[in-house]
C-alpha cells in the first residue's frame, strides 16, 4: 500500500475520532446519524480526497469506523 494512502487513512481516522467526540458531547447527535450523513455525501467526499477508486472508499470507511 502506498504511504500516501496510509497517511490519508490515518487523517481520516483522526477526523472520525473528532466526529465521535463531537457526537458524544453534543446531546441529540448520534454517531449513526453522522455515519449516515457521511455515507450519503460520499460522492462529494470522494472529490475532495486526492485518491482513486477503492482507496477513497477505504479512507471514508476509516473515518466512519473510528467515529
Domain annotation covers residue 1: no
The answer to whether residue 38 is domain-embedded is yes
How many domains does the chain contain in total? 1
The pLDDT tens digits of the residues spanning 9-67 come to 999 999 999 999 999 999 999 999 998 998 898 888 888 888 887 888 898 899 999 98
Residue 65 falls inside a structural domain: yes
The pTM assigned to this predicted structure is 0.85
Any domain includes 33 = yes
Give the structural domain span for 42.
28-67
| Domain annotation covers residue 61 | yes
Query: Helix/strand/coil (H, E, C) string of 17-48?
Result: HHHHHHHHHCCCCCHHHHHHHHHHCHHHHHHH
pLDDT at 67: 85
In a domain, 21, yes or no: no
> 2: number of CA atoms within 13 Å, CB side?
12
Structure-block grid coordinates of residue 36: 449516515
Contacts of 42 (CB under 8 A, 6+ apart): 57, 60
Over 80: is that where the pLDDT of 1 sits? no
pLDDT at 2: 86
Amino acid at each position: 500500500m502506498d504511504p500516501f494512502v496510509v497517511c490519508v487513512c490515518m487523517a481520516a481516522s483522526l477526523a472520525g475520532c473528532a466526529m465521535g467526540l463531537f457526537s458524544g458531547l453534543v446531546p441529540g447527535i448520534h454517531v449513526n446519524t453522522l455515519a449516515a450523513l457521511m455515507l450519503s455525501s460520499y460522492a462529494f467526499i470522494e472529490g475532495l480526497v486526492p485518491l482513486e477508486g477503492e482507496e477513497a472508499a477505504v479512507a471514508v470507511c476509516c473515518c466512519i469506523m473510528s467515529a
